[in-house]
Chains A and B, each alone.
Chain A
Amino acid sequence: MMELLVSLENSGFGVWLRESPSIWAYPAILTLHTLGLAVLVGGNAVVDLRLLGYGRGIALSSLDTLFPVMWAGFWVNAISGVALFVGDATTKGTTQVFVWKLVIIAAGVLVLVAIRRTVYGRGVDAPVESPISRVLAATSLALWFLAIVTGRYMAYV
């Protein structure tokens, strides 16, 4: 495992990401990771707040549009996240909080899928609100907050 992490970190890409003075290396990738985070967590916040009863007049059938936007944010962060991991593999790969971060994000994505199925299971034009969708919304907000907590923690290890 450690050998794999070392070889990742010392790969051409890993070295470039970590050591290139170019603004297009580490700074650009980290910026993408921040913008993706804002889109993914921000989009989730809108859907979660609506399901928790805020902005009740917002037609749920139209919020379906936000899901591809959130997925775009997710994939930007998955790809930029892999790049950031390669550049710092021996540290990130051996820090327990990083494993927690991945578990929390996986749970957040599962909850996002569950929200979509629960609310739009009968079709986009027949959205269903239920106690379950409210519990999922509250769980989603908590998980994405924890994703930021563990993500920010990684800046200090």
Chain B
Amino acid sequence: MGSALEAFAYWLRETQISQAIRVLPWLWPVCEILHFFGLSLLVGVAGFFDLRLLGFMPGVRLSAAWSLMPWAKVGFGLAAITGLTFFVGAPDQYVNNLAFLFKVIFLLVAGANALYFEVAYGKRVAEGAADDRSPGAFKAIAAVSLASWLLVVYWGRMLPFIGNAF
């Protein structure tokens, strides 16, 4: 990647907060634990909602499935905060890392997709207006969501192998 990004990584690595993250030996493993728990919560709850959008579990009202989605956001928040901690603590591991680039791309896809659903349909879904039918657009959004979150996990797992992070 560009040298401007490398310069940023070099600067970030020298900041006090970056050094503090590296100095505390327990912080990285604890963040890994929360990162994995967060990703499980996100994939579980969002995946459940996606399966319902795709037509599985028709007995579950869509508004009811939607009411669990704040927990997917809790999972995302856990993974995002701990992920940011990794990046700040060791930015040099990520800026020249092909797997990280793909991970960020699919994070943006998954995030934009989820945001679009919430903005365009969230209110109506919460009010129960979509309980009885699942339009084609919902199925497409669900498929993009499932595929992109699983690819985020895949590229995250590839960080040490295709890329150079640990």
**Residues on A facing B (Cβ under 8 Å):** 23, 26-27, 30-31, 34-35, 37-39, 41-46, 49-50, 54-59, 61-63, 65-66, 144-145, 148-149, 151-153, 155-156
Contacts and interface: CB of A to CB of B under 8 A. Distances in A.
Given A57-B61, A61-B59, A46 B68 contact: yes
Interface string B40-61: 1111110110000000111111
B44 A43 contact: yes
B153 A34 contact: yes
B113 to A, nearest CB: 18
Interface residues of chain B: helix, strand, loop or mixed (majority): helix
A49 B71 CA distance: 9
A57 B57 CA distance: 13
Contacts of B150: 35
Contacts of A144: 40
B17 interface: no
B157 A30 contact: yes
B68 A49 contact: yes
A66 B48 contact: yes
A54 B33 contact: no
B63 interface: yes
Given A31-B158, A43-B44, A61-B59, A38 B39 contact: yes
A62 B154 contact: no
B29 A50 contact: no
